[in-house]
Amino acid sequence: MITSKLQKVINDQITAELWSSNLYLQMAYFLKHQGWDGFGHWMKLHSEEEREHAMRMADFLTERGGQVKLQMINLVPEGWGSVLEVFEHSLSQEKMVSKMIDKIVLHAIEEQDYATENFFRVFVDEQVEEETLFGGIVDKLKATGEAGLLYLDKELGKRK
Ligand code: OFO
């Protein structure tokens, strides 16, 4: 049986993943509204990915005898000043999520819950990938400026 302390941080994590999912969905429709269909498509798929993370964590918590307790999800912003601002915001969201995941792994080690440690170590790796992914887009947006937006919109629109 998973401890109540770990249940609490995992439930907080599920909420954070769902919050990310809502944030990215709002970003997706904001971008589409601005005419950036490719960026919007990319962000919508990422929103789905975050929801899937939440489900995986909820399934794990349940399998370990814990109780999923969905919490209130804060409102997300409705608009951003530019495409770059959208991606910078998403990168900072990913960095925050990485810190939360690290905290879960630390608690799991402290409580000698190696199943939880193993499960969340996958997400430690996942966060390295995500920060690289979002960071790479931010770098490209900065490097190419306004002139590169059309090209990048087309490229990101190919995401499957
Ligand atoms: Fe759930 O991976 Fe991004 O945050």
Q: Model confidence over 37-61: pLDDT tens digits? A: 999 999 999 999 999 999 999 999 9
Q: Which atom of ligand 1 is nearest to the CA of 54?
A: 1
Residue 3 has pLDDT above 90, yes or no: yes
State what percent of residues in the chain have pLDDT above 70: 100
Average pLDDT over residues 50-79: 97
pLDDT tens digit sequence for 8-24: 999 999 999 999 999 99
Q: Which atom of ligand 1 is nearest to the CA of 93?
A: 4
Average pLDDT over residues 119-135: 98
Please indicate, yes or no, whether the overall pTM of this predicted structure exceeds 0.85.
yes
Q: Whose CA is nearest to atom 3 of ligand 1?
A: 94
Structure tokens at 53: 């993370």
pLDDT tens digit sequence for 83-97: 999 999 999 999 999
Residue 1 has pLDDT above 90, yes or no: no
Average pLDDT over residues 108-134: 97
Q: What is the pLDDT of residue 157?
A: 98
Burial of 3 (C-beta count, 10 Å sphere; 0-12/13-18/19+): middle
pLDDT tens digit sequence for 101-116: 999 999 999 999 999 9
Residue whose C-alpha is closest to residue 20's, from 90, 125, 81: 90
Q: Which atom of ligand 1 is nearest to the CA of 130?
A: 3
Average pLDDT over residues 53-77: 97
CA distance 37 to 154: 8
Going 25 to 22 to 83 to 154, the CA torsion angle's sign is: negative
- Residue 82's Cα: distance from chain center in Å? 20
Q: Whose CA is nearest to atom 1 of ligand 1?
A: 50
Residue 31 in contact with residue 43, Cβ under 8 Å?
yes
Query: In the chain, what's the furthest Cα-to-Cα distance?
Result: 55
Q: What is the pLDDT of residue 160?
A: 95
Q: How far apart are the CA of 17 and the centre of ligand 1, in A?
A: 6
* H/E element, 85: helix 83-110
